[in-house]
Structure 1
Amino acid sequence: MQLRLILLFSFLITLSVHAQKAQNVYFLKNNGDRVLIKEQADIIRIIEEPDSGDTRFKLYEFYNNSKRKTLGHLISFEPTLIYDGVVMGFDSLGKRTETVNYKNGAPFGLATYFYPNGKIKRKTEYIPTNSSANQMIGLNSSLTSFLFKTNSKIIFDSDSSGTINIENGKGHLKEINKYKEFEVVEEGDYLDGMKTGIWTGYDTQIGYTFKENYEVNKLVSGESVKDGKTYPYIASMQPPEYKGGQKAWNNFIASTTKYPADALRNGIRGTVKTSFVVDKTGNIVDIVIERSVESSLDEEAKRVLRYSSRWEPGKQRGIPVRVKYTQSFNFAF
């Protein structure tokens, strides 16, 4: 009896120490926007101060049904989450979807992905690169793959029934990605975990077929065919670019934005969040105020975007495509 009381007392002390740790709690929508109350949130994010001897913050994320979404560590969380170490992801039913190791915010080393039935879908080895290319990345497009400066090797791949496609880095893979109204398919061989030889495929959304030649995971050449026209390329994804790159774009925003006189006079300030699309010709279109502050500030943000010169359009396998971006305008005294 005495031993049980001692154990219970020890457990209560542990809970008390854990409860005293400082936490930041965020209520988020699926698009990342913050809301004020838990009932309006799709995701609840808890960031806890580091354990003794560790400099990393603890990350806990939950779906609005209280099922866990993400468990891991961060080296920073403002303005964005920078993962470090092992991070586990789960679906809305609480089943594990992935276990990925990160280093300074990028996937590093071995990662394992799972099917809902618990079977292993894929094992991938991520290898960091030292790429310093000037890349302006849009959102809600396949170009976001540029965000992770890594090369990857597929070590193992199987279908949901357990049939193996790749083992010990060698095999033949047919990737079928189905979406609500279209699908993207690519097919070819792997050797030592890397793409090799001729790969073929199609994209029913954009409406093209393609043929590519790989050597040790490097795209040597490719050509796509759309509406009878052939588009050669040496990069499967080419993001849109403002003339001069990201630094020039930042300078344009800073030098072109003017504080509306009425807002300044009335002491109105805040951050206007916009979204826009760089279309196939490089023009900025479909400007939307995602987060409004006040009409004159909103209109100023729109005016600046409309005033932008034409961009070099983004290309997917050589074919010009639309790419969506977000841009914030901070109005402060």
Structure 2
Amino acid sequence: MKYQLFFFLFSFSLLSQEIKSQKYYPFTDICNIESDYYDCEREVFEKEIVGLITPEIENDIIRKMIDNKASLTFAFVYGPNKPIREDIDIDFVNEELKIKIIQFLLQLQPYPSVENPEDILKAKRFEFVFLKNSDNKLIIASTELLKEMKYKSQLKFMIGPHPSECANSADLEGCVNKYFSNHIVKNFRYPNKALRKGIEGRVECKFYIDKSGMLIIQELSGPDKMLEDEAERILKKIPKFVNGTIKGIPVKFSLSIPITFKLD
């Protein structure tokens, strides 16, 4: 049975086309819709990064591309009413842009927050993939383009959620993929009524693993509720995971797998 596991990346258009350079973090003054917050936050960072690129930096990035692309990844830690910590991790081919991004992050002021002070530390990680267009100019790949390219993140600066038996695996992502596949096969049960009615198809399962390692289902989308209910039953049998982390800080990870129901 085929399935897919990936981290979600979405594009999001800000309501205002003119965005002043940010001086606060988090960007709650602009990104105030909870369901779209991460998407909005990515777009703000993308705008800021593009504004830091000079012609010299652009030429250097293009010259150092591997397989016609260059991946920029950075991760940082912050807390309520506290600035971003100085121990920022960043990986990219151009040193000047790396320094500029770090300087931008460190100058951001903590946005006044009413969050629970017990929630001391939070971590964020962002990845942007640079490509060059037909005019040999830099662009940042859209979500749709990354999917078409079947781009695979290297998961720098983070450890994804995983079952305990994968903790010491040299290929963590491969081990997690195998775990999901084995779990689905082991617990799969075709609904009798769906069999009789000849109902088949694929159920897209969107869920997240929370900071404690629990799987929380967000959305099930399939051709029939009977298949969706079976997919939900299978997912709910998954034991608690080892939580995912960014720079050692527990974080929530969004995941997606399809479960296919096919009649022979």
Q: Decide which structure has the larger Cα Rg and report it.
A: 1
Length-normalised TM-score, structure 1: 0.36
- Report the TM-score when normalising by structure 2: 0.45
Q: Of Structure 1 and Structure 2, which has the larger fraction of its residues in strand?
A: 1
Larger RCO, structure (CA 8 Å, separation 6 or more): 2
